Structure 1
Amino acid sequence: MSNLFRFAILYFLLVQSGLATSSQSPSPLNDDVLGLIVFKADLRDPASKLASWNEDDDDPCGWSGVTCDPRSGRVTELALDSLSLSGRVGPRGLLQLQSLRLLSLSNNNFTGALSPDLARLDGLRVVDLSNNALSGRVPDEFFRKCGSLRSISLANNAFDGELPPSLGSCASLLYLNFSSNRLSGPLPEGIWSLNGLRSLDLSGNSLVGEMPSGIESLQNLRTISLRGNLLSGKLPEGIGSCVLLKSIDFSDNSLSGELPESMRKLTMCGSLSLASNSFTGEVPGWIGEMSSLESLDLSRNGFLGQIPGAIGNLRMLKELNLSRNGFMGSLPESMTGCKSLVTVDFSRNSLTGDIPSWVFEMGVQRISLSKNGFNGEMQIPSAVNRNLHVFDLSENSVSGSIPSNLGSLQGLQFLNLSQNSLKGMIPASIGGLKDLGILDLSGNRINGTIPSEIGGVEALKELRLAKNFISGKIPTQIGNCSSLSSLILRENNLTGMIPVTLSNLTNLETVDLSFNNLTGTLPKPLSDLPRLLLFNISHNHFQGELPAGGFFNTIPPSSLSNNPDLCGSAVKRSCPAVLPKPIVLNPNASSDSSSPALSNSVSSNLRHKKIILSISALIAIGAAALIAVGVVAVTVLNLHVRSSAASHSAAALALSANAGDDYYSGSPTTDANSGRLVMFSGDLDFSSGTHTLLNKDCELGRGGFGSVYRTVLRDGRPVAIKKLTVSSLVKSQDDFEREVKKLGKIKHPNLASLEGYYWTQSLQLLIYEFVSRGSLYKHLHESSSAHTLSWRERYDIIIGTARGLAHLHRMNVIHYNLKSNNILIDSSGEPKVGDYGLAKLLPMLDRYVLSSKIQSALGYMAPEFACRTVKITEKCDVYGFGVLVLEVVTGRRPVEYMEDDVVVLSDAVRAALEEGKVEECVDGRLRGEFPVDEAVPVVKLGLICTSQVPSNRPEMAEVVNILELIRCPQDSQEEELS
């Protein structure tokens, strides 16, 4: 008997007996083996992690991820975490594991809904389905029969809807984690009836309303996190009755009022975060009675008054953040009692007075006092804290000289004294700060010279001395700072030449020497600096020819202005014996008067000057000519498609009529008249109403690959149908189906999923999920769009798109055609990347012809598309993403055709950055309602992604990490739960 036939018989027995009554199952061991094999049949296991699961075995206890009871031999635990598994968590196999106590499938790619049938496993104690792509509502039926469930985690999925009211019936529940989903609605009152609950985490959702009363009943609660929701109102007075609480995180909500006095009873609480709310009043003195506090975060609220001296009683306190409030007065001397302090942040308040000596004497590693009103002189005592790593005193009114013993703070890695009233010279002891990575002394009254000892700071990455009165030469020793990436010396009185040692700094990205009195020629080796993004030497006295090659081939003229003796094409001044004139755009292109300007100042420069073309503009013009040739070639290849339009219509009608009866998940129809319809999920069925699949009235739009139509399934759910218009270029049927099925397996919340396809020799259709709110292009550029995207919505779109692209790259899929038309917005505002990987459906074409089809928007096309010898990689997508970022932030199109010139968005934004006007680039429709500390880094990231050199662009996974840090820098530190 073959294994396949044997398995079929066993499976039949399983379905007939196992799902009916467990008492009639033939054998416990067989039940477990069969249950696991059936469970495996619903999975995709690309890495063959479950290769040891063999239906010929009588005992599954040696299988990967399976644990058995040594007495009964029954399966008690199934732990398949982080195995790259995908598919649905179907209950039909799991229900045979009647002794199952633990089910853990975290960190995989499972999709679909949570089945309420899992509640039929009476002995189930622990369920962990976190970090997957599960969706839908959390079923109320599951918790009505939760039996002996102790712990459940559905964190980091895509569940939506309200929390099920039946949660309150799970009396035995100890740990509940639904964080980072899309849950909405109010907190159900029944949740406070879970008397045994020890840990509750509902953070990162969209829960609304006030907290219901009754929290005092959670006598066993140790940790609670409601961070990142939309909760409002006051904290419940009864919270002080939860005396076992060790961790409280209500940050990033809309809570208000004063702190309830009952909290003083929480003497076991080690972590309290109420950041980013609307709390008011003074911080009460009883805060010092919470003696176990190790982390206290009250930042971004409306607290007033003085910082209570009672905080000095918190001897175990390690992290204190009171930034962005309205605190006044001086820092209390009692802070010396906080012997364990590591991190302190008092920034953005109204604190005044001298800098207390304890700042330098305690064991604090990071302290920020920026944007206050501290005055007096800065004095460093002789007995200093050598563990101080970060010290930020920027934007205060501190006067006097920089202490000569600054070098005694040998642990310093970050020092920011900018925007004060410091004077005198930079002390030579600066050279003793071997670990210093960032030094910012800009915006003071410092004079004298840059000490040569600066060359001893080998770890230095950023040196910012702008807007002072520093004179003398740039020391040659600066060439020893091999890690230096940013050198900002503008608006000083520097003289002499640029030292040639500057060309040794291969990590340099930004150099600003403008508004000084520097002279001489520019060292030629500067053109070899591989990472240079900005080199501003305007308003000096340089002379001679510019370096040739590298960054200097595209240097903006604004970075060279007011140097009358410089020559070269970038300054429109020929050097001796150099005849060629710079190429200037002939202003004959069509204009788009409706395009908004980046700002009045930037716009005037762009409209009223003849702009010398950058490399990006030259590539755009050259590629346009090549694409015109490609379009003609593709048009000729597609002529016969038009002649067969009638047969297409007939095939579409046949498909519409037959789809209701002939759809398959694994066995498609092959009827010669109706073609071949393949659905990747068996629950899809087309409506057989009056509309055909390709009804003209249902057309949504047209793109480089074809037209898109909307149709409706029998269950009322809409889908999008893409009719390919490249029939003559499509690969053979086998190759076509192989590529489409590969794309159909890719699932991610930020990707528009491919649900199926239809094939005939002359007509191919792709069936996608329907995304209701249309394209990003429509929301950004079409005047008919009634809703202007807010900054938060734009940021969500940027980071969601980045996550989708990163997932594609992990699956070894290049998009090739990234643009705002291919970013779709769903009903909750989440972006979904569409049209990915379609280039693989075409045969190997000349890239110029290929680009005419799929890179229809020139502004997104990476420079390497115009070079035959450069390999097309994922970095092309990174370039397109960078352009997309700038498009989302500015609200402008990637390329705009004015009356006198062509404006390339990335060049215009880069020029604005060099002029210090990057904030003016943000879409004017936002009316200033955007956080500058997010917008500016996002713009810079977009420019880095559009680097001309592919190797200088980051990976998309790195882009996601950077975006997460830009939005929530404090969230990178995980709270330790006990």
Structure 2
Amino acid sequence: MRSLFGVFFFICLSPLLVKSLSPSLNDDVLGLIVFKADIRDPDGKLSSWNEEDDSPCNNWVGVKCNPRSNRVSDLVLDGFGLSGKLGRGLLQLQFLRKLSLARNNLTGSISLSFAQLPDLRVLDLSENAFSGSISSDLFTQCGSLRSISLAKNKFSGLIPDSLGSCSSLASLNFSGNQFSGSLPLGVWSLSGLRSLDISDNMLEGEIPNSIEGLNNLRGISLSNNQFTGEVPDGIGNCLLLRSVDLSQNLFSGGLPRTMEKLSLCNNIILRKNGFTGEVSEWIGKMKNLETLDLSENNFTGQIPDSFGKLQSLKMLNISKNALTGSLPEAMTNCVNLLAFDISHNSLTGNLPSWIFKLGLQQVLFSDNELSGNIENAFASSLENSRKKLEIMDFSQNKLSGEIPSAVGDFSSLQFLNMARNSFIGSFPVKIGQLKSLSFLDLSENQLNSSIPSDIGFITSLNELRLEKNSFEGNIPTTIGNCAALISLSLADNELTGSIPASLAKLTSLQMVDVSFNKLTGALPKQLANLVNLQSFNISHNQLQGELPAGSFFNTISPSSLSGNPSLCGAAVNKTCQTVLPKPIVLNPNSTDATPGPITPNFARGKKILSISALIAIGAAAAIVIGVIAITVLNLRVRAAPSRSAVALTFSGGDEFSHSPSSDGASGKLVMFSGDHDFSTETHALLNKDCELGRGGFGAVYRTVLRDGRSVAIKKLTISSLVKSQEDFEREVKKLGKIRHVNLVSLEGYYWTTSLQLLIYEYISGGNLYKHLHEGSKGTNLSWNERFNVILGAAKGLSHLHQMDIIHYNLKSSNILIDALGEPKVADYGLARLLPMLDRYVLSSKIQSALGYMAPEFACKTVKITEKCDVYGFGILVLEIVTGKRPVEYMEDDVVVLSDMVRGALEEGKVEECVDNRLQGKFPVEEAIPVMKLGLICTSQVPSNRPDMAEVVNILELIRCPAESQEEGSGDSS
């Protein structure tokens, strides 16, 4: 009565169902409309359900009808995003055979009795949010049901005994709920059952021997419950079983031998139980096995030789048992094996030579007692196998010798763990080739030498652990290229030098441990930008100075800083001393010509004070007069550089030789190598006639050393912005140490407070801009020459970025060509001489680089990185290939080079952009990819641009050696 009254009440109140009183409205329309009224349809998936239709069989979404009876047979609304409760309208669908409402958000309990749907064959309510217990009469008169799935809901309580009366059931899936108690005994007698999945519940009890009645069973999964007892012999009579999953229960005892009759079985998963005894030899007779998982039990003895007969086996996991002995040689016949896990046992012997011949994807041998050298196993590896292996874990054994360089040949490796062994020697030299590696652990060995800079090539690395070895040398700055790094542990080594500032680029970094090393210097202030830091342990080093100012370092644990007595700040409860210059005080009692400290004389205090005061006043007056005089002289020098020469002398010897003149006005000159003097007889040092050019940072002049060698001298015009002498010299000396065939070398510098000169090697061939835009037809660059310039500039920039230096001012006029045609990048690193990287100041200094500047220069919220140089390089590439300037001003238009090339590429006409002066003498298969690379480098999003190291690799792949040689010979003729 209640249900009839509810339907009547709904019809009377809804103005939309006036037509429902019509005699043409069938039960299916009525039932579905009532069902729809009880649920919410946020995505409008049921908008085609129109109550004015005579039948739902034409175009109602999710509804299928029997063509003979014209009644609803299937209602399938999987993944429609429906919510609400399951209403009684469904009971009107008297001819329904399939009801599937999977993957929705339906809630509440199930109070319906599907006995009222006599034709129902399939019921699928999986992956919703139904809850509560199941009514005991839910499955009464369920003889027609073939498949029931209530998986992945929140059902609880007991599974009703009425389920055992569903005699026609072929598939039963109650997994992923909170059912408790025992499975009804009647279920174990459903002879038509093919699939039984009650995993991930809280069921208990034993498997009865009546399971032998399930002789049609293909798959059984009881995993993650609380079943106990032994596996009954009766399971061997389920001859059609393909899959058995009893994992994560409380089963005990040995495996019944009757299981060897399951010759069709593909998967046996018994993980995480209490099985005992030896691993049975008869398992080798199950020749169709593809997955065998016996892990986390109490199996003993050796791995049976019969496992070598399992030629279909793809996954073998026998980890976390008490197995002993060595790996059987017969396993070399398991040619389809992909994953092999024997970790956490007590296996002995050497690493078998056949292990890398099987084409494995995963090899996990950790925590055993394997010993000896592993060189033979790697030497026996096959090329095809090396391409497949993704996980290699040999940690916590007794392996010794050197780690073979061949480990770098496993190109697909993502996880490499060789920690806690007795490996010796250096860091594996080819590990930098493992571009897919995300986890690397070589900790707790006896490795030495330095950490190679190649580590920066592993850009996908998430975790790097090298602690407790004997690594020495500096932490490579290239580690800043490992952009995905989250955890870094280099503790307990012999590392020296400073902590590289490039660490600040690793924005995902959470944990850093460099404790117990010999690191020196101050912590880079940029580390304060690492917002994800959770731990930063620098204890027991020789670090000094103030900690970076940042939220993490303001609250860092004192234990992470201990053992560094020269650190200061609130975290170590030590005030940082402000360094002030000592006052100049003359001692009137000193007979020495040099100033000396005042010695207190209390007997003559008044006289001493008086004399000191007079001398101090006199000294101050002399200093004032001197400053005025120097200022006037500097103004003269600036006003008339063409008429004056700065008198500079110096001597060589050490790497950095200093020879300050006795005359303070002469300033300080430093040459980094050689034994040279300027020849004032040939040219004045800053003679206007010898000017080579002017740029954003200053003018460049040519002069000659006494040995006849020419140098280029840049007079900086940013004196008011230059750092202090100490900072200036420190930065210049860093630049002076940079040596690369494609970089202009800095030979020395000259310093006064008002004049700074940088001394470079002289490049005779002029700059690239003149070759591209000002040369005559006779000096046109060939394609070979252009490609070499592009590749050389890329290599130079890549080297700068490895040294953690950003160019900032890349353009064709800063690419010089030497006498051999080799390109050299000039003017790099000058922005480091400024007291701060102010974008407005910097952009005003390099405004001549219009068209080369990355868009992030205009956005204060975007960080300036090496990707700015990559953008400028991309423009440079397009300029070299097309022969056009980055921005061309036409009479009525402005043409932006990158936009022009990108548009031509989209229209399929990019070949037409190549410089006409090449007159078809260029390989299309090189020119087009080079232009595409240039466009990629000019992406508006910095993270989409490649690194310069990647650019170099791409260019070397683009180059076609044979054709290039032919073209080169043609050009020379």
Normalised by the size of structure 2, how large is the TM-score? 0.56
Question: Alignment partner for residue 310 of structure 2, among 281, 289, 314?
Answer: 314
What is the rounded CA distance, in whole Å, between the counterparts of 1:9 and 1:164 in structure 2? 34
Q: Secondary structure at the match of 2:422?
A: coil
CA gap 1:526/1:171 in 2 versus in 1, 3 angstroms: same
1:500, 1:112 → 2: CA distance?
Answer: 58
Secondary structure of the residue aligned to 1:75 is strand
Change (3 A) 1:158 1:578: farther
Equivalent residue, structure 2, for 1:73: 70
2:61 to 59, 64, 79: 64
How far the C-alpha of 1:257 sits from its partner, in A, is 0.9
Contact 2:356 2:380 (8 Å CA) reproduced: no
Q: Which residue of 2 aligns with 1:497?
A: 498
Q: Tell me the CA shift for residue 361 of structure 1.
A: 2.1
Partner of 1:185: 181
- Cα distance in 2 for partners of 1:13, 1:408 equals 75
State the shift of 1:124 in Å: 0.4
The aligned runs of 1:523-534 (5 Å cut-off) are 523-534=524-535
Partner residue, 1:466: 467
Once residues 487 and 182 of structure 1 are traced to their aligned partners in structure 2, the CA distance between those partners, rounded to angstroms, is 41
Q: 2:412 corresponds to which residue? A: 411
Match of 2:284 in 1: 288
Matching of residue 203 in structure 1 with residue 203 in structure 2: no
For 1:859-878, list aligned pairs within 5 A.
none
Partner Cα separation in structure 2 for residue 85 and residue 406 of structure 1: 53
Task: Report which stretch shifted further, 153-162 or 117-126.
Answer: 153-162
Q: Which amino acid aligns with 2:147?
A: S
RMSD: 2.3
- 2:379 corresponds to which residue? 381
- Report the equivalent of 2:156: 160
Residue 521 of structure 1: aligned partner? 522
CA distance in 2, matches of 1:7, 1:310: 68
Structure 1 segments unaligned to the other structure (5+ residues)? 15-24, 580-978
CA contact (8 A) 1:427 1:451 kept: no
Q: Give the partner amino acid of 2:468.
A: K
Aligned partner of 2:440: which letter? L
1:515 positional shift:
0.6
2:255 aligned with 1:254, yes or no?
no
Residues 41/185 of structure 1: CA separation in 2 closer, same or farther (3 Å cut): same
Alignment of 1:322-341 (within 5 A): 322-341=318-337
SS in 2 for 1:477: helix
Name the SS for the 1:515 alignment partner.
Answer: coil
Which sections of structure 2, spanning at least 5 residues, go unmatched?
A: 15-20, 581-973
User: Structure 1, residues 205-263: CA drift from partner, whole Å, max 9, x if none?
Assistant: 11111111211111111111111111111111011111111111110100011111111
| Separation (CA, whole Å) in 1 of partners of 2:483 and 2:522 | 23
Q: Which amino acid aligns with 2:250?
A: S
Report if the CA contact (8 A) 2:353-2:380 is conserved.
Answer: no
Cα deviation, residue 137, structure 1: 2.5
Deviation at 1:481, TM superposition (A): 2.0
Change (3 A) 1:222 1:29: farther
1:825-844 Cα deviation digits (max 9, x unpaired): xxxxxxxxxxxxxxxxxxxx
Q: Distance in 2 between matches of 1:457 and 1:39?
A: 57
Structure 2: which amino acid aligns with 1:530? V
1:41 aligns with 2:42: no
CA distance in structure 2 between the aligned counterparts of 1:376 and 1:571, rounded to whole angstroms: 47
Q: Give distance in 2, aligned partners of 1:44 and 1:482.
A: 46
Q: Is the 8 A contact 1:123 1:147 kept in 2?
A: no
CA distance in 2, matches of 1:521, 1:9: 80
Q: Does 1:224 align with 2:220?
A: yes
> In 2, Cα distance between the equivalents of 1:455 and 1:41?
61
Quick check: 2:113–2:139 contact (8 Å CA) kept in 1? Answer: no
Report SS of the residue matched to 2:144.
coil
1:420 aligns with 2:455: no
Give a deviation string over 1:72-130, Cα, whole Å, max 9, x none: 22111111222232222233x11211111111111222222223522111000100111
Q: CA deviation at 1:37?
A: 1.2
Aligned-partner SS, 1:353: coil
What is the CA distance between 1:426 and its match in structure 2?
1.1
- What amino acid is the match of 1:401? E
Amino acid at match of 1:383: S
Structure 1 residue 158: Cα displacement: 2.1
For residues 60 and 326 of structure 2, what CA distance do their matches in structure 1 show? 65
TM-superposed CA distance for 1:8, in Å, is 5.5
Please tell me whether the aligned partners of residues 450 and 474 of structure 1 are also in contact (alpha carbons under 8 angstroms).
yes
Q: SS at 2:61's partner residue? A: coil
Deviates more, 1:158-167 or 1:493-502: 158-167
**1:503 CA drift (Å):** 2.1
Q: Which residue of 1 aligns with 2:927?
A: none
- Deviation string, structure 1 residues 482-540 (Cα, Å, up to 9, x no partner): 22221100011111111222222222221110010100111121212232222111110
One-letter amino acid of the structure 1 residue matched with residue 552 of structure 2: F
Render the CA deviation track for 1:351-393: whole Å, top value 9, x for unaligned.
Answer: 1111112222221111111111111122211534211111111
Find the partner of 1:83 among 80, 85, 102.
Answer: 80
Cα pair 1:134 1:159 within 8 Å, conserved: yes
Amino acid at match of 1:100: L
* Gap change, CA 1:148 and 1:555, over 3 Å in 2: same
Q: 1:98 to 1:430 in 2, by over 3 A?
A: same
Identity %: 57
C-alpha distance in 1 between matches for 2:10 and 2:530: 68
- Give SS of 2:520's match: strand
Q: What TM-score, normalized to structure 1?
A: 0.56
For residues 504 and 345 of structure 1, the distance between their equivalents in structure 2, rounded to whole angstroms, comes to 37
Which position in structure 1 is the counterpart of 2:781?
none
The answer on 1:572 being equivalent to 2:568 is no
Amino acid at match of 1:205: N
Deviation of 1:71 after TM superposition, in Å, equals: 2.5
1:98 paired residue number: 94
Amino acid at match of 1:242: C
| Match of residue 137 from structure 1 | 133
Alignment of 1:605-616 (within 5 A): none
1:55 to 42, 51, 54: 51
Looking at CA atoms only, which structure, 1 or 2, has the larger radius of gyration? Answer: 2
Counterparts of 2:391 and 2:212, CA distance in 1: 41
Choose 268-277 or 102-111, whichever is displaced more. 102-111
The equivalent residue for 1:397 is 398
Corresponding position: 1:107 with 2:103: yes
Task: Pick the aligned partner of 1:361 from 333, 357, 360.
Answer: 357
The CA distance in 1 between the partners of 2:6 and 2:411, in whole Å, is 74
CA contact (8 A) 1:424 1:448 kept: yes
Contact 1:481 1:505 in 2 (8 A): yes
> How many angstroms apart in 2 are the aligned matches of 1:254 and 1:140?
29
Give the AA of the match of 2:415. Answer: F
Q: What is the aligned partner in structure 2 of residue 126 from structure 1?
A: 122
C-alpha contact 1:471 1:492 (8 A) present in aligned 2: yes
The verdict on how the C-alpha distance between 1:28 and 1:339 changes in structure 2, with shifts beyond 3 A counting, is farther
Letter matched to residue 264 of structure 2: M
Structure 1 residues 351, 30: closer, same or farther in 2, change over 3 A?
same
For 1:110 and 1:67, the matched residues in 2 are separated by 22
Question: Could you tell me whether the CA contact under 8 Å between 1:218 and 1:242 is conserved in 2?
Answer: yes
What SS class does the counterpart of residue 324 from structure 2 fall into? strand
Please give the per-residue CA displacement for 1:914-968, whole angstroms capped at 9, x wherever unaligned. xxxxxxxxxxxxxxxxxxxxxxxxxxxxxxxxxxxxxxxxxxxxxxxxxxxxxxx
SS of 2:400's partner is coil
Which digits, 9 at most, give the CA deviation of each residue in 1:13-71, with x for residues without a partner?
A: 99xxxxxxxxxx99786111111111122222333332222222212122222111222
